[in-house]
Amino acid sequence: MLAEPLRLLLADDEPLALRRIRLALQSIPDVEIVGAASDGMQAISAMRELKPDVVLLDIKMPLADGFEVANAVEDSGGPAVIFVSAYDSYAVQAFETSAVDYLVKPVEFERLASALDRARERRADKNAGRRAEELASVLDALKRESDDREAPRFDREFWIRDRGRFLRVPVIDVDRIEAERDYVRLYWEGRTLLHRETMSHLEKKLDPNVMLRVHRSAFVNWKRLKAVRRDANGRLMAVLESGDEVPVSRAYAQRVMAEMKQRS
């Protein structure tokens, strides 16, 4: 028997935030976006008209903020609420409204999927005894996110347009990245994908503990790096588990060898 899709209403006055959530939701099975609202009053009206299972709700919105919307939800016995905010300072107040989860922008794919799983459980099991367990797990997740924000934030995924759709490509699963004119080419799961980005910009966005820059035109994934050797011409080459070899330029050779020595 097929699972009944989780019907979602999105409420956020930032078009880019809505777009990012929509893209992420494309990779999560058994969800259906039934509507979107750009202010609090629209969100309340849409909830009453569309009767979604879950509303992904921004806090700072025109006309009515997220808490006013959430209170209207509770008063009408409406959908489960997942707050999505650029600030973590509202978390305690959010859970006073019986929110299912509280996600901090930019929302990580895994956290979004986890929040929706929790909403499914809430829909399937109305037992109030689960509330304490849910709250404890969410607060643990918020603490981890807070700790992560104290460290540099790096992109964990690419969203690549491919044949009229968007592919979610986790950075940790990419074998290597090479420059190609105004693009970069990602080597991922036996195929290659073009992504419009510069190498210098990528270096700021990628975790050096995941992607090691070995050349002005190349990154390699640490987990895929098998060895470093010199070829017949004396050039330093990064040897990947796939058997592919990527040149290591003189400008990066010292850094690469130092990192290899430290990790070994």
CATH assignment of the domain containing 112: 3.40.50.2300
Q: Are residues 56 and 187 in the same domain?
A: no
Final residue before a domain boundary, out of 150, 181, 213: 150
For residues 137 and 250, the model is more confident at 250
Please report, for the domain that includes residue 197, its CATH number: 2.40.50.1020
Q: What does the DSSP assignment read for the chain?
A: -PPPPEEEEEE-S-HHHHHHHHHHHTTSSSEEEEEEESSHHHHHHHHHHH--SEEEE-SS-SSS-HHHHHHHHHHTT--EEEEEES-STTHHHHHTTT-SEEEESSPPHHHHHHHHHHHHHHHH---GGGHHHHHHHHHHHHHHHHHHHHSPP---EEEEEETTEEEEEEGGGEEEEEEETTEEEEEETTEEEEE---HHHHHHHS-TTTEEEEETTEEEEGGGEEEEEE-TTS-EEEEETTS-EEEE-HHHHHHHHHHHHHH-
Q: pTM (2 decimals)?
A: 0.53
Q: Per-residue confidence at 129, pLDDT binned at 50, 70, 90?
A: very low
* Percent above pLDDT 70 for the chain: 82
For residues 77 and 99, the model is more confident at 99
Q: Are residues 227 and 180 in the same domain?
A: yes
Residue 132 is predicted with a pLDDT of 45
Q: Are residues 126 and 212 in the same domain?
A: no
Q: Are residues 199 and 254 in the same domain?
A: yes
Q: Are residues 192 and 122 in the same domain?
A: no
Q: Are residues 137 and 204 in the same domain?
A: no
Domain that holds residue 87: 6-150
Number of domains in the chain: 2
pLDDT at 125 over 90: no
Final residue before a domain boundary, out of 150, 183, 217: 150
- Give the pLDDT confidence of 31-66 residue by residue, as tens digits: 999 999 999 889 888 888 898 999 999 988 888 787
User: Is residue 104 assigned to a domain?
Assistant: yes
User: Is residue 1 assigned to a domain?
Assistant: no
